[in-house]
Structure 1
Amino acid sequence: MRWSHIGLNCRDQKQTEEFYRRWFGFTRARSVPIPDGEIVFLRQGDAYLELFPAGPGEGTPGQADGPSGPGAVRHLAFQTDDVDAFLARLGDEAEVTLGPLGFDDVICGWRTVWLRDPDGAIVEVSQGYTDQPDAAGEHGR
């Protein structure tokens, strides 16, 4: 078993595709026609996003790092070498919802910012995260 993708409902699929293409390096891998439009598959390495046309109504607004209700995707997350340089490239196009915050008390150099994509999904961008040595311990066996 391996991770496959995250599906996003989009008010404007072209705008959402451009956002992930431009700022996160995704490219279009496929599109599939459906009765109310198309599903757009974006790929970046082994990560895929499926962009669906949004149905009627609006999603439930969430907190700064994403919705907290059960069944909702809280946020998408990406790693970068430098959060501040990434934010500088986005400039005024970044709608930061939280941070950047430093988590040096947990991992020296861990820094994270959360921002909103064109459809309101929260995207986390971090630098410096590392796994805890032997974190699986008894739980991973």
Structure 2
Amino acid sequence: MYTLPCAPNGTNAHQMWEPLLQYRDGVNPDIVVLRNDATGRCLARINSTGELRTIVECDDNDGYATVEWYAQGASWRRVVFSHWYGNTSYAVDSNFTGGAYAQAWNGGLHQQWNFKSRSGCGATPAPRRPSPGTARARSPPVSAPQAPR
């Protein structure tokens, strides 16, 4: 998995991720599965190694991998995708070289993702999708910001 600046007009389906709402109670952060538009595969954290991969089993949390992510953020901007494993909250993170990985939640900007529309990379109206790597959103907005517990 990698990150790059978003392609104009949503032309790169590999950058498009659909958040599939799994659970919402209005109190806790929403739980979503992130499915790639191009491959149909879902973003997972491999529990034994901590690495991010895409896997076919989008509905399967088990001892091998976790596909469900807490989606925490203000509206459609600065959304953190995280989950607990043991006593640590891991977040989807990135770096300047385009790498993507799961790292312990630290509140940094590289762990905060913006939703974008298919119409381009500039300022765009809702619905929005995680960026780097943009996508159309079919699920309702994510819940208000909360620190992982």
TM-score w.r.t. length of structure 2: 0.25
Larger-gyration structure (1/2): 1
Which structure's residues are more often helix, by fraction?
Answer: 1
Question: Which structure would you say has the larger RCO, counting Cα contacts within 8 Å and 6 or more residues apart?
Answer: 2
